[in-house]
Structure 1
């Protein structure tokens, strides 16, 4: 089935314009921590409203492999070889439209780092990331470049441990994962929105061992005593539209 024909699950209509690329996302780990709204608020542009579930904001680390980036019209030719990415994100609304706000994105792929950072105004960082699968377990180690004395890093492993399910609307699992646009800002002033489309996430519960995580250090968040909610997904194919400036 064509992805564009599968849209009934979306919370808002598909964009009227053509998407500009397709991406393939695989073997994802979703880690989520509840965080008090007042701690997160200073790091989010004032034009965006921090989204909450049962009164709590949520902070996520999402780790996955981008297996291909395919510009519209070149459906069989990826711009890049496959590469892992690890991002820190939270959830916001703007003009009533829910979406994702990225706080950091670590990659070692040059094209994503340079092109997407400038085009989408996203907070990309250059990093060395190793990713491998042993049996059913996925291992990842990421070290951000630029601070040799105390590098921002993540090391851990994860394995799916349940049957596949699609979360029901109204549940926390659905609220955390079913997001169909991303917001970014240019110097914290102009707000941009980029639409995303994919089929509903096929999720599994996951067991995770986090050996090291300093991705929250730049924000002085200490969530070491909080056990995150962990999900795994084999992945989805996604369509991505160009960004547009949000009008208020």
Structure 2
């Protein structure tokens, strides 16, 4: 007799928010370090976020609220597989606008609405090879004592005039991050699409070393340029981290929907 068709499971609950990665990356596709990070976050209505997410994902919420993040940092020595990181082309300032997502398998992640970077070749590779919304910008990151400044002025492909200018003062170490601080920083994957197919790319890194930070200056138009309402008022959360080494790996195998006989197959969907 023919096997009965599989029936889809209902969307599971999102995986737990954990300070340590739920997956291993024993065979990394990409390696890099993120250094001198400033995390700025504003609450946003999930209804404003949902149309901007890839197919197969929905806004990830905490107490009914989701967030838009403006994250400025220094990318350091991007490398392929187990090869050493590239010192010049693989090291540059970056500022991204990101949203928070969960997919039909319960995997939490981020969705990048824009990634401003100061190296044209990585921008071109990111746009052409990975279909990520990289843009070429004039950028600087400077640290003097406890003060860090970040600047970004967009060059190509636009919209021209989109920019950000940030300054923070680093405070004390966060010994016990709150639930919302874990929610905003402990994100172990990226949701995107690749030639119309859903893509989930997991990452691993040590637990974030986080510090409180005081926002001294913020003049930005990147959030609105990314299709979101311009932030009103100060951020709900401002954090700093000296950084972590990062590995990106292949998506883990996940179970396919159960058949009526309860049998499962295993698939590795959502990769290019």
TM-score, shorter chain, exceeding 0.5: yes
Task: Quote the Cα distance in structure 1 between the aligned partners of 2:115 and 2:159.
Answer: 20
What residue in structure 2 maps to residue 88 of structure 1?
97
CA contact (8 A) 2:28 2:249 kept: yes
Q: For residue 246 of structure 1, what is the aligned residue in structure 2? A: 270
Aligned with 1:125 (options 125, 129, 135): 135
Judged with a 3 Å threshold, the aligned counterparts in structure 2 of structure 1 residues 67 and 55 are, in CA distance, closer, same or farther, namely same
TM-score, normalisation: structure 2: 0.78
Residue in structure 2 matching 1:202, options 206, 209, 216: 209
Q: Secondary structure at the match of 1:234?
A: strand
Distance in 1, matches of 2:217 and 2:269, equals: 37
CA deviation string 1:154-173 (max 9, x = no partner): 011112111243526xx110
Check 1:63–1:175 CA distance in 2 against 1; reply closer, same or farther (3 A cut): same
Structure with higher Rg: it is: 2
Distance of 2:88 and 2:160 partners within structure 1:
33
In the alignment, which residue of structure 1 is the partner of 2:74?
65
Give the alignment's TM-score, normalised by structure 1.
Answer: 0.85
Report the CA distance between 1:21 and its aligned residue. 2.4
String of CA shifts for 1:24-55, please: whole Å, max 9, x gaps.
11100000111011111121124211100110
Question: 2:31 maps to which residue?
Answer: 22
Measured on the aligned residues, the alpha-carbon RMSD in Å equals: 2.5
SS in structure 2 opposite 1:224?
coil
Change (3 A) 1:245 1:126: farther
Kept after mapping to 2: 8 A contact 1:99/1:182: yes
Check if 1:49 corresponds to 2:58: yes
Structure 1 residues 9 and 224: alpha-carbon distance in aligned structure 2, compared to 1, 3 A threshold: closer
* Structure 1 pair 215–148 and aligned structure 2 pair: CA distance change class (3 A): closer
Secondary structure of the residue that 1:116 maps to in structure 2? Answer: helix
Match of 1:178 in 2: 186
How far is 1:104 from its partner? Answer: 0.5
CA-to-aligned-CA distance 1:181-205 (integer Å, 9 cap, x gap): 1111246x42111110001101001
Task: Return the offset for 1:67.
Answer: 1.9
**In 1, are the aligned partners of 2:70 and 2:223 still within 8 Å (CA)?**
no
Q: Distance between the aligned counterparts of 2:24 and 2:67, measured in 1? A: 26
Whether the 8 Å CA contact 2:55–2:198 is kept in 1: the answer is no
The question of whether the paired residues in 1 share the 8 Å contact of 2:77 and 2:85 is answered with: no
Unaligned runs of 5+ in 1: 1-7
TM-superposed deviation, 1:57: 0.9
- Deviations, residues 43-94 of structure 1 (Å, cap 9, x unaligned): 1124211100110011001110012112233236546252100000011011
Contact 1:201–1:233 (Cα < 8 Å) also in 2: yes
- Unmatched runs of 5 consecutive residues or more in structure 2: 1-17, 252-267
> SS of the residue aligned with 1:165?
coil
Partner of 1:190: 197
Distance of 1:163 and 1:10 partners within structure 2: 18
